[in-house]
């Protein structure tokens, strides 16, 4: 089967928290910043309307100090699926806007860019490629994906619910994805750097919905017994493997 690909127009907007266009993404980005503070800051900072500016300053310092180690570990990123709609918000301030590209490939949204850094003496330049891939939930309208970039470097990607789609997912419903990841939607990240030597690494991260979700087979009947559910859960444990750099961790039996 031939894959289809379409490059999306990247709409440029005003600063993220000053532009009402992004209002429905503000809470998601606060959560994204909070996750990085929880990971790297030990002062107990909590993001809210009053502390938002201070928290973003602390986040920016963390990002600056960690980005050379790993492009993704300190990147504020939040993915949500609400009422069949998909939304991703991410910090891309450190990536060259002219090299940033968002495209739709089949049922996936791919975000690519480049991170460049000059040496302290300015005599050389190193660069790393930025790659994020998101698999859309089945109810999202892949033909209506829209993206916007604030002038302070926050990128949003949104896909509305497909019109006429009555197959909504109630909270806690068992869902299945056709992607290699086992959650209702997934994100994968790839990073490569170029300088005097070439280094590459690949990370795949299974992203779950902000609401509770679990897994099912598409052939599961509504009256399936508990034994079958247990077998299904065990099968998921067998297949759900997270990889990080060269370390593979498999969930216990």
Angle between helices 52-66 and 23-40 (to 10 degrees): 60
What are the structural domains, with CATH classification, of the chain? 5-17+77-215 (2.60.40.790), 223-253 (no CATH)
Structure tokens at 51: 């502390």
pLDDT score for 230: 56
- Per-residue model confidence as pLDDT tens digits over 91-143: 999 998 888 999 999 989 999 999 988 888 878 888 899 999 999 888 999 99
Identify the bridge partners of residue 159 per DSSP, sorted by sequence position. Answer: 86
- Report pLDDT for 171: 35
pLDDT < 70 regions, the chain:
1-2, 165-253
Beta bridge partners of 12: 149
**Encoded tokens for 56:** 């973003």
> pTM surpassing 0.85?
no
Q: Quote the pLDDT of residue 32.
A: 98
CB-count exposure of residue 152 (10 Å: 0-12, 13-18, 19+)? middle
Residue 240 is predicted with a pLDDT of 41
Cα(178)–Cα(231) distance, rounded to whole angstroms?
Answer: 20
Write down the pLDDT at residue 219: 35
């Amino acid at each position: 089967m031939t894959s289809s690909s379409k490059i999306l127009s990247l709409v440029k907007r005003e600063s993220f928290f000053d532009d009402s266009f992004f209002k429905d993404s503000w809470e998601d980005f606060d959560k994204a910043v909070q996750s990085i503070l929880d990971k790297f800051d030990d002062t107990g900072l909590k993001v809210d309307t009053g502390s938002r500016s201070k928290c973003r300053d602390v986040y920016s310092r963390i990002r600056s100090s960690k980005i050379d180690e790993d492009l993704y570990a300190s990147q504020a990123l939040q993915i949500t699926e609400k009422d069949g709609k998909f939304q991703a918000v991410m910090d891309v301030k450190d990536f060259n806007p002219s090299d940033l590209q968002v495209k739709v490939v089949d049922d996936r949204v791919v975000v690519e860019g480049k991170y460049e850094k000059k040496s302290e003496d300015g005599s050389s330049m190193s660069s790393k490629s930025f790659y994020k891939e998101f698999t859309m939930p089945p109810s999202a309208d892949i033909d209506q994906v829209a993206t916007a970039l604030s002038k302070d470097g926050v990128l949003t990607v949104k896909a509305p619910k497909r019109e006429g789609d009555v197959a909504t997912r109630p909270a806690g419903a068992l869902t299945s994805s056709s992607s290699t990841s086992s959650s209702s939607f997934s994100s994968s990240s790839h990073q490569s750097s170029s300088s005097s030597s070439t280094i590459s690494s690949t990370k795949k991260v299974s992203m779950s919905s902000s609401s509770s979700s679990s897994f099912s087979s598409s052939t599961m009947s509504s009256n399936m017994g508990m034994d079958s559910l247990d077998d299904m859960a065990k099968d998921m444990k067998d297949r759900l493997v997270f990889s990080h750099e060269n370390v593979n961790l498999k969930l216990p039996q």
